[in-house]
Amino acid sequence: MFKNLSDELKQYLVITGNYWAFTLTDGALRMLVVLYFHQLGYDALQVAFLFLFYEFFGVVTNLFGGWLGTRLGLNRTMNIGLLMQVVALAMLALPNGYLTIAWVMLAQALSGIAKDLNKMSAKSAIKLFVKDDQQGQLYKWVAILTGSKNTLKGIGFFLGGLLLTLIGFQSAMILMASVLMLVFIASLLLLKADLGKIERKVKFKELFSKSEAINRLSLARMFLFASRDVWFVVALPVYLSETYGWNSWTVGGLIALWVIVYGGIQSIAPYFTGKRSGKLPDGRSATLWAFALIFTPLLVMFSLSFANWLVVLCLFIFGALFAINSSLHSYLIVSYAQREGVSLDIGFYYMANAMGRLIGTLLSGWVFVNYGLSACLIVSSSLIVLAMLFSLKLPQEQFK
């Protein structure tokens, strides 16, 4: 069956498989680090700092990773990311005595570089497989890749809580590193060489987008993801553990289910944004969907005073609307990006994405420790307002 597929679809499937495998370990690793070090006595702000280099080097990697993709090829940048994740997992498999804050931050730095090399390579490669006049197909493939990735990240969260409960932190690291090494070997054998490589030398100034649309979309993306991570990454798991007394299994399970549903909605986002009427989303769509999201963090905040089930319901309402916003953005950047050197435009955009995660992660720890989860949610709504404002002047013509 695989032999009968087109070369483009074969490469898309290989890249998606790599992305899936990496995402599974990335989600599990994040949940393992949050829960394990909280068990060791770290407060929310200290846990947030463990991810400081992870997010910071994600910013750097997305900026220079696009250039690296044009020089080495997207196949090589993807494989480098896989191998670096194996190294990061192996570093965290050491006994507790060696897991100092500095060592964990260094391992997280490698993991952050690996994650964004992998993501940039996967998202950039899709542009090369779809013709410019097939924007509907492009949106569909981007939505499937993005949504399935986040579904697997949710499974990874669940897996992280499960592995911590069943086999412990170090054994989980060894298991994940071993599986990912097999994926790395398979990728070396199957992924097409020189994908996305260009012959001319790329100047340093080309690392920064010259497109007003991409610049605005990147700023909107930065504030959008900061609005999620300001309460989701650190504050929420710690809150559920401290306030409700939930164990690792329960916390990991809820967050996993949230991300799985979130990813599923991302995959079918085209059906919510106009595909059924033959339309493709544009800047006006990004503005309207951001506006719809603004009030959902406040719903979560008000639900904290009531029953647990209402909190969970409001979390899923936020997740559904956030998923549509995220998928819509992911399509727009791939559509806006130039075909030659596509990784430069997409790398710049995901640099802003990583900057948003960095801002959100640090705020999540600091605001939660000093003011609580409700304050995190108010900050979240404010950041979504900024994302909406930067979406206002995005191109509003429909793509054909």
Integer Cα distance of 99 and 119 in angstroms: 27
Structure confidence by residue, pLDDT tens digits, 36-74: 887 777 776 677 777 777 777 777 777 776 666 666 667
User: Looking at per-residue confidence, does 288 or 242 come out higher?
Assistant: 288
Integer Cα distance of 32 and 50 in angstroms: 12
Q: Is 194 left (phi over 0), alpha (psi -120 to 50) or beta?
A: left
Structure confidence by residue, pLDDT tens digits, 110-148: 888 888 787 777 766 666 666 655 556 666 666 777 677
Task: State the residue range of the domain holding 22.
Answer: 2-391
327 assigned to some structural domain: yes
User: What per-residue confidence (pLDDT) applies to 208?
Assistant: 52
> CB of 128 within 8 A of CB of 342?
yes
Average pLDDT, the chain: 78
| CATH number, position 123 | 1.20.1250.20
pTM: 0.72
Residue identified by tokens 């080097």 is 57
> 93-107, 243-257, 334-348 — which is least confidently predicted?
334-348
363 assigned to some structural domain: yes
User: What per-residue confidence (pLDDT) applies to 321?
Assistant: 92
396 assigned to some structural domain: no
> CB of 113 within 8 A of CB of 58?
yes
Local confidence band at 201 (pLDDT 50, 70, 90 cut-offs): low
229 assigned to some structural domain: yes
Integer Cα distance of 399 and 135 in angstroms: 7
Answer positive or negative: Cα dihedral of 242, 246, 249, 252: negative
322 assigned to some structural domain: yes
170 assigned to some structural domain: yes
Main-chain dihedrals φ then ψ at residue 71, nearest 5 degrees: -90, -45
Counted domains in the chain: 1
Integer Cα distance of 232 and 254 in angstroms: 12
Number of H helices, E strands in the chain: 16, 0
Residue identified by tokens 């192996």 is 90
400 assigned to some structural domain: no
> CB of 252 within 8 A of CB of 35?
yes
113, two tokens: 């570089």
Main-chain dihedrals φ then ψ at residue 34, nearest 5 degrees: -60, -50
> CB of 67 within 8 A of CB of 207?
yes
216, two tokens: 């605005």
Structure confidence by residue, pLDDT tens digits, 1-36: 456 556 666 767 777 778 788 888 888 888 888 878
398 assigned to some structural domain: no
339: DSSP letter: S
